[in-house]
Structure 1
Amino acid sequence: MQIKVLDTTLRDGEQTPGVSLTSKEKLRIASKLDEIGLDYIEAGSAITSEGERESIKEITSQGFNAEILSFSRPLTRDIDYCLDCDVDAVNLVVPTSDLHIFDKLKITKDELIEMSNSAVDYCKDHGLTVELSAEDASRSSIDFLRKVFLNAIDQGADRVCVCDTVGILTPDTSFELFNNLRDINAPISCHYHNDFGLAVANTLSAIKAGACEFHSTVNGIGERAGNTSFEECVVAINRLLPDFSTDIKIHEIYNISKLVARLTGVYIQPNKAIVGENAFAHESGIHSDGIIKNSATYEPMTPELVGRTRRFIVGKHMGTHGLDSRLKELGLDVDKVQLQQICDNIKELADKGKTVTDVDLQAIADNVLDINHEDRIKLEDVTIVSGNRVMPTASVKLNVDGEEILNAGVGIGPVDAAINAIKSLEIFDDIDFIEYHVDAITGGTDALIDVIIKLQKGDRILSARGTEPDIIDASVKAYISGVNRLLQE
């Protein structure tokens, strides 16, 4: 059975605290969502503001294959704004729990049904497709929920949706709820929130019980604990539910995940399923050995399926098989004695609590193999001007391939300014700065600062470290060290 997917990243996802997307950013996300095969895209809530309406109009003007919706309350004013945006459909949200009807709206159940029916009728009279979503359905009387749905369908609603607004369902109760609604003669979808970490599991249960569509957000972003995670749900359906599938281009999932993370500024936790940086990373020696022999031993799917690549992590748990594979990726061939020596040195370093980065590995290997790389970029000087009324400004003197270069940059802080002064040079164009972490590793105001960064060049991701009493020096040295290693590779 083909399962339809409605993406609400641009509406429910944008309600994540601290997230506010520009019209251009929304269009970029919508374009990518359409490209990878989304069936429905909720482009926003037209009632919100003039800027929101302009964003929705920009999306509806593109002629996407996906059906474009706007969120709407069951009010004529809301629906008129949706019509002004030229959307294909509305996600008509109608509260169905006693709590919402009596305490929020302060109306009777009969008045709620009348309001719902009138709104559906108005939408259909104006040529809109209607998906009627029952807000707080998971805390509603099943009989009343059925009554609202059947009335809406009689008025012409095209689809209905069960919303677990506060994320209280479990996989069992989700299955039971949808199983009790099987007799409804209309497509039925599910919209789950992740307050107890069960949104994906509940969505899969709903699908097994009869839901033919689900709502989700990329990376599971949204209010409070977020929504059903798009990438987790899509991959789970296609890999774990043999009777169901979607039209999503799964190999593009990582790309859309990174795009949304970058534009929203919402960090993806490293251990997040499917798209987290550690999802296909292996350190354990037993695991690495198994993966090298047959990836199915410790991976439920190949990383290439979702546009990823496998990584072997350097650390005290790794064995010689994984280490040898990682060294070969760095272009280093070693014999068994050298391999064991490098492995022992890594474990000794890791036992002291030090994170072993790729740069550390290269230094250890160079020492064992007696290899010295000539760095292409050398830092000669960095100067910072900063203050309450001064935009942080950095000037740097670098030696790049033997040529002395002076450059300057500004930023929101002195570290940002220093990095901007460096990376604005052409040699840094195809290197992305993807992660920054800082720790004070000794006490006091003169503490040693340990900076670890992650850089990416193409499909290569590399970690580098700088440890100095000054956070700016530590950050700059870590960055240049990592870039030198990427350029050598």
Structure 2
Amino acid sequence: MYDIDIDSLKNIYMNLSDEIYIFDTTLRDGEQTPGVALTVDEKIQIAQKLDAIGVDKIEAGFPAASKGEFEACKEIKSLNLDSTIVGLARSVKNDIDSILDADLGYVHTFIGTSPLHRDYKLKMSKETIISTAVEAVEYAKDHGLTVEFSAEDATRTEKDFFFDVYNEVSNAGADFLDIPDTVGVLTPVFTHELISYAKSVFDLPISVHFHNDFGLATANTLIAIECGANQAHVTINGIGERTGNTPLEELVIILNTAYGMNLNIDTSQLYSLSEFVGRLTGIKMPVNKPIVGDNAFAHESGIHVHGILNNSSTYEPISPESVGHSRKIILGKHTGANALKSKLKEYHIDLNNEQFDKVFSQIKTLGDKGKCVTDDDLKAIALTELASARETLIKLKGLGLMCGAAVSPTATVKLEIYGVEKETSHTGVGPVDAALNAIRYLIQDTMDIELEEYNLEAINGGTDALADVFVISSDNEGNKSTGRAINDDIVMASILAVLDSINKLLLMKKI
């Protein structure tokens, strides 16, 4: 952070609450993500993991919505977790009865208050909405429930009516006042004004539930907390209706790191929790997702990697270990020598200067072709370079290919054989076969070979994967040798693998 007195800044500009509660609604709002449906067992597993990291409250679901929702809420409650288990209910008696039947002690009840909700969804007057909300709160309190009340679409509700609603439910006994930005239209400036005013008017703790339609959910939640909000609704990975909610992992890390708050959350489990929920929901996080994305602690630029290797704080605001993540050094066209040396050292691969330069050059070339070199690619390239360090009697000096619908695949191959260059062209059933036919022709005065085995594999998935070719060749005396080559071009990899095996056979004869 900047070299300033953070505590003084907080005292001057912020009205931070002494305690911030983390209210996780992954199992309720998160499950409302289009295409996501969790089983009872899956919801239980997520609830247990949320409890294990230390969230204060878990909104387990909407018990009145379905039998499965009811069972999930009841079973999660029966686990006797440390987290408070919450159920959602409309401001309707039957919904609150479902909360009670599920043995929940905390209800999050809501009713729409904006003109759009009043006129088009509920078709209720302002007076009816207030009386309905008050009756629901009173009914829940009469039955011993802790009550959190939300005015749905609060941020598009007229200011006077907004405060009338919250004032009445406060008088009715609500314990928490939740202010939802239901369609994510708030900006930080308006958030500051709204929450500051609400804190000045109401004595009850303020909760916020912000959606991410404009990409501002996290920023708005932070502003709300700065203005005195006592609780934040979040979801794992920020999943939820439309573009989702404030991400749990982002908010927790920012409050811990930038604000110095101890939320009693075990942040070391955030990455594994994110991955677990991603697998269950089928929603994979973008690689550039803060905190839990694959690239959150990945580095390719030579300048950055050099800094990271000397002091990770140069280009990382937090350590990957603090969230259960890991650092990745990515190889590509921006890779520096330090990064490559670090990777080779990690895999105990010792190259001399000439071999290192060749591997470095190949990685740069692959990067310029738009390819990302994985760790498996690097190991294969480096080990191939080590293997090629032996004496080479036959060398590839040139290759040309011609393929098309109107012509047979034709390969023109130029080899240096014992210092003499020879060139020929041959056809085949495919470009690889054509190239191998040309090689056989060029070396026929040196030896006869048969290709006994040919295996082609992609080191990693994808259409741009490096080709790993393994061959077994034999000569007319029954000698056999293996050959292997890695290249981004299948034909080139095949030729180099065959030449590798041929050179081994020739060295056998010399010995």
For the criterion TM > 0.5, the same-fold answer is yes
Amino acid paired to 1:208: E
Q: Deviations over 1:178-233 (max 9, x none)?
A: 01111210010110111111111111111101111100110011111111111011
The answer for the alignment partner of 1:317 in structure 2 is 334
Aligned to 2:415: none
Cα contact 2:147–2:174 (8 A) shared by 1: yes
Does 1:103 find its partner at 2:120? yes
**1:164 Cα offset (Å):** 0.4
Q: Does structure 2 conserve the Cα–Cα contact (< 8 Å) formed by 1:3 and 1:245? A: no
- Checking the alignment, whether the CA contact within 8 Å between 1:438 and 1:450 is kept in structure 2 is no
Deviation at 1:308, TM superposition (A): 1.2
Q: Using the alignment, how far apart are the partners of 2:212 and 2:322 within structure 1?
A: 26
| SS of residue in 1 equivalent to 2:350 | coil
Letter in 2 for 1:277: D
Q: Tell me the residue number matched to 2:304.
A: 287
Aligned to 1:241: 259
Residue 258, structure 1, aligned to residue 258, structure 2: no
Tell me the equivalent position of 2:228. Answer: 210
C-alpha distance in 1 between matches for 2:171 and 2:388: 78
CA distance in 1, matches of 2:300, 2:129: 57
Q: What's the offset of the Cα at 1:467?
A: 9.0
The structure-2 alpha-carbon separation of the partners of 1:102 and 1:437, relative to structure 1 and needing over 3 Å to count, comes to: farther
Q: Is it true that 1:223 corresponds to 2:241 in the alignment?
A: yes
- Distance of 1:10 and 1:341 partners within structure 2: 53
Q: Give the TM-score taking structure 2 as reference length.
A: 0.72
Distance 1:199 1:46, change over 3 A: same
Distance 1:355-1:46 versus aligned 2 partners, 3 A rule:
same
Q: Is the 8 A contact 2:56 2:83 kept in 1?
A: yes
- CA distance, structure 2, for counterparts of residue 106 and residue 123 of structure 1: 24
CA deviations 1:76-129 (Å, max 9, x no partner) are 011111111111211111212122122211111111110011000000111111
- The amino acid across from 1:281 in the alignment is A
CA contact (8 A) 2:331 2:374 kept: yes
Deviation string 1:439-464 (CA, Å, 9 cap, x unpaired) is 4x7xxxxxxx9999xxxxxxxxxxx9
| 3-state DSSP of counterpart to 1:72 | strand
> Contact (CA 8 Å) 1:438, 1:451: kept in 2 or not?
no
Q: Is the 8 A contact 1:39 1:66 kept in 2?
A: yes
Q: Report the alpha carbon displacement of residue 41 of structure 1 after superposing the two structures with TM.
A: 0.3
Work out the CA distance in 2 between the residues paired with 1:17 and 1:106: 26
Counterparts of residues 41-52 of structure 1 (less than 5 Å): 41-52=58-69
In structure 1, the residue matched to 2:371 is 354
Aligned partner (choices 293, 301, 313) of residue 276 of structure 1: 293
Q: 2:330 touches 2:372 (CA, 8 Å); kept in 1?
A: no
Q: Could you say which structure has the larger radius of gyration?
A: 2
Question: Which amino acid is the alignment partner of residue 155 of structure 1?
Answer: A
Matched residue SS, 2:111: strand
* TM-score normalised by structure 1 residue count: 0.75
* Structure 1 counterpart SS, 2:97: helix
> Aligned partner of 2:237: which letter?
N
Rounded Cα–Cα distance in structure 2 between residues aligned with 1:467 and 1:70: 58
Question: Equivalent residue for 1:24?
Answer: 41
RMSD value over aligned CA atoms?
2.3
Distance 1:180 1:312 in 2: 48
Q: Note if 1:193 corresponds to 2:211.
A: yes
Match of 1:75 among 92, 95, 100: 92
- Please say if residues 137 and 145 of structure 1, whose CA atoms lie closer than 8 Å, have aligned partners that are also in contact: yes
Structure 2 unaligned residues grouped into runs of 5+ = 1-17, 390-459, 469-485, 492-511
Give, in whole Å, the separation in 1 of the partners of 2:88 and 2:82: 19
Residues 273-322 of structure 1 show CA distances to partners (whole Å, capped at 9, x for unaligned) of 00001100000000000001111111111111111111100111010111
The separation in 2 between residues aligned to 1:42 and 1:466, in whole angstroms, is: 50
SS of the residue 1:160 aligns to: strand
Equivalent residues of 2:61, 2:87 under 8 A apart: yes
Say if 1:187 and 1:212, in contact at 8 Å, map to a contact too. Answer: yes
The superposition leaves residues 224-279 of structure 1 with CA deviations (integer Å, 9 ceiling, x where unpaired) of 1111111011101111124x442211111111111111111111111100000110
* Change in CA separation of 1:465 and 1:369 when aligned onto 2, cut-off 3 Å: closer
Q: 1:88 and 1:336, CA in 2 relative to 1: closer, same or farther beyond 3 A? A: farther
Q: Kindly provide the amino acid, as one letter, of the partner of residue 358 in structure 1.
A: D
Q: Could you tell me whether the CA contact under 8 Å between 2:331 and 2:373 is conserved in 1?
A: yes
**In the alignment, structure 1 residue 66 sits paired with structure 2 residue 83:** yes
CA deviation digits over 1:152-181, x for unaligned, max 9? Answer: 111111101110000011111111110111
User: Structure 1: which 5+ runs fail to align?
Assistant: 373-435, 442-448, 453-463, 470-489
Cα pair distance change 1:89/1:313, threshold 3 Å: same
Residues 154 and 179 of structure 2 are in contact (CA less than 8 Å); yes or no, is this contact kept in structure 1? yes
| Corresponding residue for residue 387 of structure 1 | none
Distance between the aligned counterparts of 1:199 and 1:236, measured in 2? 13
What amino acid maps onto 1:48 in structure 2? A
* Offset, 1:371: 7.7
What does the per-residue CA deviation read over 1:38-71, in whole Å, with 9 as the maximum and x for residues that have no partner? 1010000011111111111110100011111111
**What are the within-5 Å matches in structure 2 for residues 296-445 of structure 1?**
296-370=313-387, 438-439=462-463
Letter in structure 2 aligned against 1:154: N
Q: Could you tell me whether the CA contact under 8 Å between 1:216 and 1:228 is conserved in 2?
A: yes
Say which SS state the counterpart of residue 182 (structure 1) adopts: helix
Inter-partner Cα distance in structure 2 for 1:253 and 1:212: 22
Q: Percent identity?
A: 48
Q: Is the 8 A contact 1:90 1:131 kept in 2?
A: yes
Aligned residues of 1:200 and 1:232 also touching (Cα < 8 A): yes
Whole-angstrom distance in 1 between the partners of 2:268 and 2:110: 33
Distance (whole Å) between structure 2 residues aligned to residue 437 and residue 19 of structure 1: 27
